[in-house]
Amino acid sequence: MLTPLKLKEKLSLDRKTQEFINKSRQTVFDILKWKDDRKMIVLGPCSIHNFQEAIDYANKIKKLQKKYEDKFFMIMRTYLEKPRTSIGWKWYMYDPYIDWIWNLEDWIYLSRKLLLQINQLWLPIATEFLSNILAKYIQDLVSYGTIWARTTESQIHREFVSNLNIPVGFKNNTFGDIDIPINSIISASSSHHFLDFDDNLNGKLINSKWNNKTNVILRWGKLWPNYDKKTLDEMNYKLQSANIDRKIIVDVSHWNSNKIANKQIDIITYLSNYYEDIAGIMIESYLRYWNQKISNNLDYWISITDSCIDIKQTDAILEHFYKAINYAEV
C-alpha cells in the first residue's frame, strides 16, 4: 500500500505552489469573516470522472477568474469521492477508469496528480472530505473543504475537521435541518481526542487543536428549499446566537434547483438581491450542458452524475451576478 508520505515524495508540493495554497486558504477565511468583500464562487461538476476533461475545465475557469477577479474569488469544485444514497459509482478516487476495477494506487496517484496540476494553474481547489484516510493523500492541496449532507452529523468527520488548518463548509442534512451544521461547527471548533493515522499509516492518538475556519453551506432538504431570504435571515440569526461569526455559502444546485441545471440561474438571479447576506455560491457547472449515464461510450465534456450548466451559461450568470453587485454598490 502506497502511504501518503511516499505519494507526497513522488508528487511533491513545491514552495511556490504551497504559498499559493496558503494564500488561497487565507482569502477564503477572510471572505467568510467579512475581511474581503469579494464573493466565493465554488464551481465545477458534481463529480470528476476524467483527468483531461478536468484540466480543460480548469483552464476555462481560469479565464473567468481573470475576468471577474475584482468581485469574485473562483474555486474549482474538484470532488473525488462521494457518500452514496444507496450504492453506485463512488467517483474518481475509487474508480478513475470507470471499469469497476478497484486499483487503489492508481486512484490515489491520479487524484493527487490532478489536484497538483490544477493548483499549478493558480486555480484554488475545493473538495469533499469523505474518507479521513484518503484525505491524507490530498489535503495539503485543498483550499476549501466540504462535509456534505450525509456526513455532516458524523462524529468522525467533525473530529477530523477539528484537526485541519483548512476552511471547511458543513452542509445541512438531507432533510434541510439548519441547526445541524451549527452543531458541526461548534464540535469542529473544539479540541478532540481520537484515533487516527499519520502519513506512514501508523495509528496514533490525536489531540486536535480545533478549527475556527468552518462555515455553513445551505443546501435544499427533502421538505423545503433554503436559499430564500427568510432562511438566510434565520440562518444568520442562529449563527449570531451561537457566536459564530462566519458567512453562509448557498449551494444553488442539487435539490435547491430540483437537480435541473438551468434552474441554478434563477436562484443566482434571486440571490443577487441579497448578496450581502452570503459569502458566496456553489454552482454545478461543466464544459457542456446536462449530464449522461455511465456507459462504454461516454460523450466528452459532459457530466456523468448531476446535470450542469455549460461554460457559456456559467459566464452569463456570473456576469449578471457581477453587474448586480456593481449596481448595488454605486
Which DSSP string do the residues of 102-135 spell out, in sequence order? --HHHHHHHHHHHHHHHHTTT--EEEE---TTGG
Phi, psi for 328 (deg, rounded to 5):
-65, -30
Q: 67-90 as b/e, with b when 16 or more CB fall inside 10 Å?
A: ebeebbbbbbbbbbbbeeeeeebb
Task: Give the residue from 311, 317, 323 showing the smallest Cα distance to 63.
Answer: 311
Query: Within a 13 Å sphere around the CA of 187, how many CA atoms are in the beta-carbon half?
Result: 18
State how beta strands 193-197 and 203-207 pair.
Answer: antiparallel
In CATH terms, the fold of domain 4-329 is: TIM Barrel (3.20.20)
Opening angle at CA 258, ends 257 and 262, nearest 5: 50
Burial of 60 (0-12, 13-18, 19+ CB in 10 A): middle
Which one-letter amino acid corresponds to residue 120?
A: Q
Chain CA centroid to CA 31, Å: 15
Residue 39's H or E segment, with its range, is: strand 39-44
Q: Give the model's pLDDT for residue 204.
A: 94
Q: 301-315 as b/e, with b when 16 or more CB fall inside 10 Å?
A: ebbbbbbbbbbebbb
> Would you say 56 and 301 are in contact if contact means Cβ atoms under 8 Å apart?
yes
Which mean pLDDT values do the consecutive 10-residue runs of the chain (330 residues) have?
94 97 98 96 93 96 96 96 67 76 82 97 96 94 94 95 97 85 96 95 94 93 80 94 96 76 89 94 92 81 86 95 84
Q: Give the model's pLDDT for residue 247.
A: 96
Q: Give the model's pLDDT for residue 255.
A: 65
Query: Within a 13 Å sphere around the CA of 17, how many CA atoms are in the beta-carbon half?
Result: 17
Distance CA 178, CA 281 (A): 17
> Would you say 120 and 141 are in contact if contact means Cβ atoms under 8 Å apart?
no
Q: Give the model's pLDDT for residue 322.
A: 95
Distance in angstroms between the alpha carbons of the first and the last residue of the chain: 58
Tell me the whole-structure pTM to 2 decimals. Answer: 0.94
> Would you say 91 and 49 are in contact if contact means Cβ atoms under 8 Å apart?
yes
Distance CA 85, CA 88 (A): 9
Q: Is the torsion defined by CA of 281, 138, 118, 58 positive or negative? A: negative
Q: 223-240 as b/e, with b when 16 or more CB fall inside 10 Å?
A: eebbbeeebbeebbeebe
Q: Give the model's pLDDT for residue 65.
A: 96
The beta-strand segments (E) located in 219-302 are 248-251, 278-284
What is the number of other CB atoms lying within 10 angstroms of the CB of residue 35? 10
